């Protein structure tokens, strides 16, 4: 379900460069990202011993914050170097690879 939301977000962004495409794509991306974040956090906390959860969650939050900073900076650079359509086509390619890997491991 989550991969369908993220895929739809990418497809909407590729379809056109109108402001509505951008808003709908970001809305779907936000929903997908939040679902991935919630599921990932739940799985992460299940794998940690109860006495280590506080420290592990703090480290996880720092890593996520640093990754967000890197993503913002690299996003600006990517927009500078490539156009919107090229970036979204690459995202679609990465998304297809992730879906294929997930299907491979589901067997």
The 10s digit of each residue's pLDDT in 22-33 is: 899 999 999 998
Instruction: Name the nearest CA neighbour of 22 among 31, 10, 32, 33.
Output: 10
Mean pLDDT of 39-47: 84
Q: Where exactly are the structural domains of the chain?
A: 2-106
Closest CA to 99 of 26, 37, 6: 6
Instruction: State the pLDDT at residue 88.
Output: 83
- Whole-model pTM above 0.75? no
pLDDT of residue 41: 83
Return the pLDDT at 26. 92
Q: What is the pLDDT of residue 85?
A: 84
When pLDDT is cut at 50, 70 and 90, the band that residue 84 belongs to is confident
């Amino acid at each position: 379900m989550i991969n369908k939301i993220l895929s739809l977000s990418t497809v909407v962004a590729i379809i056109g460069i109108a402001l509505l495409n951008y808003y709908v794509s970001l809305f779907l991306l936000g929903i997908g990202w939040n679902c991935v974040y919630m599921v990932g956090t739940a799985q992460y906390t299940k794998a940690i011993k109860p006495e280590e959860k506080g420290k592990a969650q703090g480290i996880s939050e720092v890593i996520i914050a640093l990754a967000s900073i890197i993503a913002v900076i690299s996003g600006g650079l990517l927009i500078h170097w490539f156009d919107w359509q090229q970036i979204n086509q690459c995202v679609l390619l990465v998304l297809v690879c992730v879906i294929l890997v997930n299907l491979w491991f589901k067997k």
